Every structure is written in C-alpha cells, then in structure tokens.
C-alpha cells in the first residue's frame, strides 16, 4: 500500500478482484488500463498480472480473474471509445504472454515479464542465451500478427521495440532488439547523485565478510525452480544448523532433521570471487525477505502431498513453488500423471545416534523446518495441519545462513542427488536429469510511429 499511495503514475492490472481489499480499491493510481496520446493518436495500455501472485503473497486475500478474459473485456471498451491501438502490458510469463497474443483479437502487441525470458534475434551480446526471437511473433486465427517481447531482468537490458501503424490503427511493421546496458551507455547524473545518499550503508555491507566459498553458489531462478541447486542445499542445511544450535533434540542430534525452502525464495546466486569471500550484501541479495523460521509437525502423507505439488511447480514460467530441501531424497518421474510423480522419498532420521535415511512412512509425523512464507501457505503449499502449532525459531533465514557461514572456514556445497528427475527424451527413452535451464526477463520501452 505505501507504494500505491506514493506513486504519481498509473499502476495497471485488469484482473484483480479488490472486493475484499477496500484499501487497494481506493488507490487512485491503481487502474485496469490507461490511455496515452502519442503524436496525437490515442493508444490504450491494459495491465495484467499472473493469478499465481495469489500464492506468492501472504496473507493472500486478493482474488484474481483470468488474464485473457479481462484483457478482452477492457479492449472491447477501448474499441467502443474509438481507440484502435491496444498494448497488453503484464507480468504472467513468456508462455502466457504468447497465449494472450493468440487469444486477444484487439491486442496489437504484448509486453511481458515474470519469467525473466531473454529474447534475441542473432548473436547474443553477453552470457544470456535466447529463449526465443525478439520480437516473438504470434499469429492469430484471423491471420493478424502480434509481436511479444520481454527483456530479461535486473535492468541489464533495455528493450527497444519500434512499431508502425497505419491511419486505421493496423500494425504494418515492427522491429527491435534489447539493448545491453554496459559501460558504453552513459549514466544519468541525477541517478548517480541519488545513489550516493545510500552508498555508505551499501559499502559497509559490501565490506562485511561473513564467510567464504570454494565453489560457485548457483541460485538462478531457472535452476533452483526446476532442479536441485547447491545454494538451495546450503540454505536448507543452514536451517538445520540453526535448529541444532538451539539444542532441542534432547538425547538425539536434533528434533527437526528436515528443512524445506521454496525455490522462489532464493532470489540470486553468489558468484565465486578470487578470494572466495561472501559478504552481507550477497546474503541479502539471496534472502532479502527476512523470513522467520518455524518447526512444524507434519504427517508423512501430507509431506508426500507437498512434494507432489512441488513436482507440478516445475515449469518454464515457474512462480517458485518447486522445493529445495535438506534431509530428504526425492525422485520425480514425469512419465507419470500429475499427483503420482513422486516415486521415492527417503527421510533423514532425527532420533538416531548417526543420521541416516529411511523410506518415508505416511503414517508417521515428522518435524520439519520451513520459512514463514511456506507456513502461511505460500505457493499453495500446506505444511501446517489442523491442530498443530508451528514453533518459532530464534533466527530468521538470512541470520541462519550468516551464522552457518561464519562458523566454517569455507563452504563447498555440491549436488548430492537430493532431487532426482526422470523424464522422457524425444525418442521416448527415459533419462535421469539434473538440468540447468537458462531462461531469462524484463524492462522495456516501446517506440510508436504512425503512417498516415
């Protein structure tokens, strides 16, 4: 709400149902759409947001409508008002953007985000690999061509799209390419001046070394949201460590031998520097939300159900519900139908002298460490069963990671086979994979010109 109350520009999304959130419905700059005037011509811009957002926020009282339905409804209103050029501007992912382009007949261009998709035509200018051409052209049933664009993420690229329309608002020509914002691009003096206000605090964090790594800490969303990643392993292990330090295991090594974190909660990786140093800035980049940690008591049946849900979250435009963990070994078989993809689960024992793994018993209950986000039902997960009370731990997630790093000379987390994925090749054969996908996503401008 503070953001909506302080902005002086339109914030667009047509598919929000704000009936249960009156304070948002009162925000004067939150709109379904807006109309710009470009060279004397009216251009409609309709916003949309992935309905998966409901599962990415807590508490999740917001309700979402289907993007395509609301875009078509809003576009029809604009057409009735004589607005012939319509842009869909949203945050639902590259795959959904293409579906919108195909299914919204009045829309002329789709500018998207969310999936961090890097689109490029030709030889890529840096390490990112293209997920599709820029623009990606979708042909509607009528034969109308609709360009779809994204421009990666983190303002590394500036999307440039040039559109030409005739006097009736028909798109007749388009071209463009993302611009790499490297040292050749002149920096704005007013932005640099603003950065100086905060530089000391940032510099202090950058100079505060909390640990060292011997290996690259892989935290890209395209990896941690679809397969095992070593940074996910490290974070989950640090959560286990935090509980061990609390010494609640009695005669045994711990009372909570399993820790789970959603891949979407890992916001970046940590590059290996020449000296291996890890700074507070690195940790904040990885875990910026400061999630509390909780111990929850969950049945084996519910744990398997959560892992099945995790399997469904492993998609190209994943919102982040794919789980990383410590104390579990899980096999997903994507030959099987949804709901039956978890073919093997081994759990680490807590009430044992030497930690070891045993098959999951659905009739047993297990103490599991999770973040507040997961405790509150984030990403549709449910780890808190009726009648159970989550136990708040001493440290937050980032504090647990910092303490874990501080008490080790070096870390070198590896891929341990905690997550095994079986899927078919094009030939139909089965293959066990540990894939590192490169997808990539979005900041862009568009240029409009008109032929009369």
CATH number of 250's domain: 3.90.780.10
CATH of the domain at 116: 3.60.21.10
Question: Which tokens in the block code for residue 415?
Answer: 């891929």
Same domain, 8 and 87: yes
148 and 234 in a common domain: no
Q: Are 103 and 227 in a shared domain?
A: no
Structure tokens at 334: 């994507």
What is the rounded average pLDDT of the residues 179-194?
94
Q: Regarding beta strands 365-371 and 258-262, do their DSSP bridges make them parallel or antiparallel, or are they unpaired?
A: parallel
Residue 66 lies in a domain: yes
Q: Is residue 197 part of a domain?
A: no
Q: Is residue 307 part of a domain?
A: yes
Q: Between residues 426 and 140, which one has the greater pLDDT?
A: 140
Alpha carbon 55 to chain centroid distance?
12
Say how far apart CA 209 and CA 266 lie, in whole Å: 20
The chain-wide mean pLDDT, for the chain, equals: 91
Contact status, residue 438 vs residue 316, Cβ threshold 8 Å: no
Domain count within the chain: 2
Which stretch of DSSP H or E encloses residue 79? helix 67-80
| pLDDT given at position 441 | 34
Asked if residue 78 has pLDDT above 80, the reply is: yes
- Write down the pLDDT at residue 319: 72
Q: Are residues 166 and 252 in the same domain?
A: no
For residue 104, being part of any structural domain is answered with yes
- 353 and 445 within one domain: no
Say whether both 58 and 161 belong to one domain.
yes
| pLDDT band at residue 2 under the 50/70/90 scheme | confident
What count of other Cβ atoms lies within 10 Å of the Cβ of residue 204?
Answer: 11
- In this prediction, residue 188 has a pLDDT band, given cuts at 50, 70 and 90, of very high
How far apart, in whole angstroms, are the C-alpha atoms of residue 163 and residue 172?
A: 8
Q: How far is CA 285 from the centre of its chain?
A: 14
pLDDT in tens, 417-440: 999 999 865 555 545 544 333 223
pLDDT at 370: 98
Which stretches does DSSP call E strand in 300-435?
323-326, 328-333, 342-348, 357-359, 365-371, 391-396, 419-424, 430-433
Q: Domain limits at 73? A: 2-184+440-450
If we measure between CA atoms, which residue out of 357, 328, 354, 332 comes closest to residue 342? 332
Do 360 and 444 fall within a single domain?
A: no
Same domain (yes/no): 396, 426? yes
- The predicted structure's pLDDT at residue 27: 84
Cα(250)–Cα(378) distance, integer angstroms: 31
Q: What is the pLDDT of residues 320-346, one digit of tens each?
A: 899 999 999 999 999 999 999 999 999
**What pLDDT band is residue 20 in, cutting at 50, 70 and 90?**
confident
CB-based burial, 237-276: b 16+ in 10 Å, e otherwise = bbbbbbbebbeebeeebbbbbbbbbbbbbbebbbeeeeeb
CA angle 66–316–55, rounded 5-degree value = 50
């Amino acid at each position: 709400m503070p953001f909506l109350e302080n902005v002086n520009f339109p914030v667009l999304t047509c598919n929000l149902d704000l009936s249960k959130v009156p304070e948002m419905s009162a925000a004067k700059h939150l709109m379904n759409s807006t109309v710009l005037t470009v060279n004397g011509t009216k251009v409609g811009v309709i916003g949309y947001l992935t309905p998966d957002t409901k599962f990415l926020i807590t508490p999740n009282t917001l309700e979402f409508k289907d993007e395509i339905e609301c875009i078509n409804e809003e576009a029809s209103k604009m057409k009735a008002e004589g607005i012939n050029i319509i842009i869909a501007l949203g945050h639902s992912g590259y795959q959904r953007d293409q579906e919108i382009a195909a299914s919204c007949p009045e829309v002329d261009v789709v500018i998207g985000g969310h999936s961090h998709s890097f689109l490029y035509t030709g030889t890529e200018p840096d390490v990112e690999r293209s997920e599709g051409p820029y623009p990606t052209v979708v042909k509607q049933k009528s034969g109308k061509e609709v360009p779809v664009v994204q421009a990666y993420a983190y303002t590394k690229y500036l999307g440039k799209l040039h559109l030409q329309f005739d006097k009736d608002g028909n798109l007749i020509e388009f071209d463009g390419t993302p611009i790499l914002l490297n040292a050749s691009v002149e920096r704005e003096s007013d932005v640099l001046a603003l950065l100086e206000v905060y530089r000391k605090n940032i510099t202090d964090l950058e100079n505060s070394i909390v640990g060292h790594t011997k290996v690259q800490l892989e935290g890209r969303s395209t990896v941690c949201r679809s397969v095992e990643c070593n940074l996910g392993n490290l974070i989950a292990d640090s959560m286990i460590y935090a509980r061990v330090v609390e010494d609640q295991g009695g005669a045994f090594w711990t009372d909570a031998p399993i820790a789970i974190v959603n891949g979407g909660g890992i916001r970046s990786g940590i590059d290996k520097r020449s000296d291996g140093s890890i700074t507070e800035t690195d940790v904040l980049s990885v875990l910026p939300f400061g999630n509390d940690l909780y111990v929850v008591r969950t049945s084996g049946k519910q744990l398997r159900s959560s892992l099945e849900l995790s399997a469904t979250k492993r998609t190209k435009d994943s919102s982040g519900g794919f789980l990383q963990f410590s104390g579990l070994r899980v096999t997903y078989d994507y030959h099987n139908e949804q709901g039956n993809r978890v073919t093997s689960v081994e759990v680490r024992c807590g009430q044992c002298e030497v930690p070891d793994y045993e098959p999951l018993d659905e009739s047993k209950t297990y103490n599991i460490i999770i973040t507040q986000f997961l405790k509150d039902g984030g990403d549709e997960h449910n780890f808190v069963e009726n009648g159970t009370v989550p136990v708040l731990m001493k440290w937050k997630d980032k504090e647990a990671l910092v303490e874990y790093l501080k008490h080790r000379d070096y870390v070198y987390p590896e891929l341990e086979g905690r997550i095994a994925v079986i899927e078919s090749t094009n030939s139909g054969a089965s293959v066990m994979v540990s894939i590192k996908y490169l997808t990539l996503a979005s900041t862009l401008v568009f240029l409009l010109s008109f032929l009369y």
